[in-house]
């Protein structure tokens, strides 16, 4: 089974494995983009994931339209980025297991991530196009 890491050019894999903040762009009911800063991770199953709660606009947008873009800008080089255009899948996470993974990955207390009483969902990004900038060279 291929993983998100396999799909990323070797020149940009560090960005997908980094613990950074990315921008998740979704489309609202009037076809307008809506962008939000999010954390992301490649989970133990090799899939790229973010986490949302059901009280957020990005959740409502993804329910209506599962297309999204995750944009990662290299914090050390603003000319280097990774754009992942994807179809998303929303998976209920009633036990909030993904919160533990994010808390561990980003070195924060789980309580900080569990402040919302809303239902939590894992967003799995299934890329259909990946744009590395500058383009990867062979």
Mean pLDDT of 20-29: 96
Residue 11: is its pLDDT beyond 70? yes
- Residue 83: closest CA among 73, 91, 92, 93: 73
Please report the domains of the chain, with CATH numbers, ordered by start residue.
4-133 (2.30.110.10)
Residue 112 — very low, low, confident or very high, per pLDDT cuts 50/70/90? confident
In tens, the pLDDT along 61-86 reads 999 999 999 999 999 999 999 999 99
């Amino acid at each position: 089974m291929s993983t998100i890491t396999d799909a990323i050019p070797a020149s940009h894999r560090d960005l997908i494995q980094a613990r950074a903040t990315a921008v998740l762009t979704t489309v609202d009911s009037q076809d307008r983009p809506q962008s939000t800063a999010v954390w992301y991770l490649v989970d133990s199953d090799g899939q790229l994931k973010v986490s949302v709660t059901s009280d957020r606009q990005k959740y409502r947008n993804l329910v209506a339209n599962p297309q999204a873009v995750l944009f990662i800008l290299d914090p050390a080089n603003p000319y280097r980025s990774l754009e992942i255009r994807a179809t998303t899948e929303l998976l209920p996470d009633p036990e909030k297991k993904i919160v533990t993974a994010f808390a561990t990955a980003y070195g924060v207390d789980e309580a900080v991530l569990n402040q919302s009483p809303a239902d939590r969902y894992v967003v799995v990004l299934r890329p259909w196009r990946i744009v590395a900038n500058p383009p990867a060279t062979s």
